[in-house]
Amino acid sequence: MSIKATPTPGAKLLTPKDHTLVMIDFQSQMAFATHSIDAVNLRNNAALVANAAAGFGVSTILTTVAEKSFSGPMFNEITDAFPGQKMLDRTSMNTWEDAAVINRVNEIGKNRIVLSGLWTGVCIVGPALSALDQGFEVFVIADACGDVSAEAHNRAMDRMVQAGAQPMTSLQYLLELQRDWARTDTYEMTTGVAKKFGGAYGLGVTYAKTMFGAHEG
């Protein structure tokens, strides 16, 4: 019996309304010791994720650890995308053990969790494994995470993937939320985020629009 293909998206693909994004500990003290990714790329990728989420209206939680006493403020590339949003500050390294964060997760009420932050092997592994254990579907934006070494980051990603987490990248996150250039209500926002934070792809969008008036749709 043959299978019939249909022009419909797979259930594993993310949509703007089906998940909660949790951005964790993008703070100065954490970034100083991050060596699996350079600080410029890390900040750029975090900004891409934050602006994509804000542009698509994704339910987003911003959380810090010991902000006033030790780790410093969250990157302004992230907070600028969510003006006025409250930071949930924690003492726990594992975000999933913080009652205020979990209260917010439950208020939002979505079964998919997307994670990014510092460090991969501690502050991302903790909530990823905890959420998976409680039945959530978990995605990790690998290039919007970082750790003290490439080895630490890679082993943490391996551990989460083996437990059932799904890895992705920051640009993939943006384009998966758009997914169809015919969606004109978010087209300019998506290409705008890509041009500002999308590296070589963003340069290509700028070039095509400037030189040829090109349009993906």
CA 179 to chain centre: 17
pLDDT in tens, 24-36: 999 999 999 999 9
d(CA 79, CA 101): 17
Instruction: Quote the Cα angle for 137-196-190, to 5°.
Output: 50
Confidence of residue 147 (pLDDT cuts 50, 70, 90): very high
Q: pLDDT, tens digit, for every residue of 110-128?
A: 999 999 999 999 999 999 9
Please, what CATH class does the domain formed by 19-179 belong to? Answer: alpha beta
**pLDDT in the model for residue 213:** 66
Please determine, for residue 210, whether its predicted confidence score (pLDDT) is greater than 80: no
| H helix or E strand, kind and range, residue 149 | none
DSSP element (H, E) containing 66: none
Instruction: State the pLDDT at residue 82.
Output: 97
38-95 residue pLDDT tens: 999 999 999 999 999 999 999 999 999 976 767 789 999 999 999 999 999 999 999 9
Could you tell me the two tokens for 43? Answer: 């900040």
DSSP class of residue 36 equals S
pLDDT tens per residue, range 149-204: 999 999 999 999 999 999 999 999 999 999 999 999 999 999 999 999 988 887 77
In this prediction, residue 217 carries a pLDDT of 62
pTM: 0.94
Q: Look at residue 215 in the predicted model and tell me its pLDDT.
A: 65
Task: Give the integer Cα–Cα distance in Å for 184 and 41.
Answer: 29
Q: Are 138 and 165 in contact (CB under 8 A)?
A: yes
Tokens of 217: 């749709």
Range(s) for CATH 3.40.50.850 in the chain?
Answer: 19-179
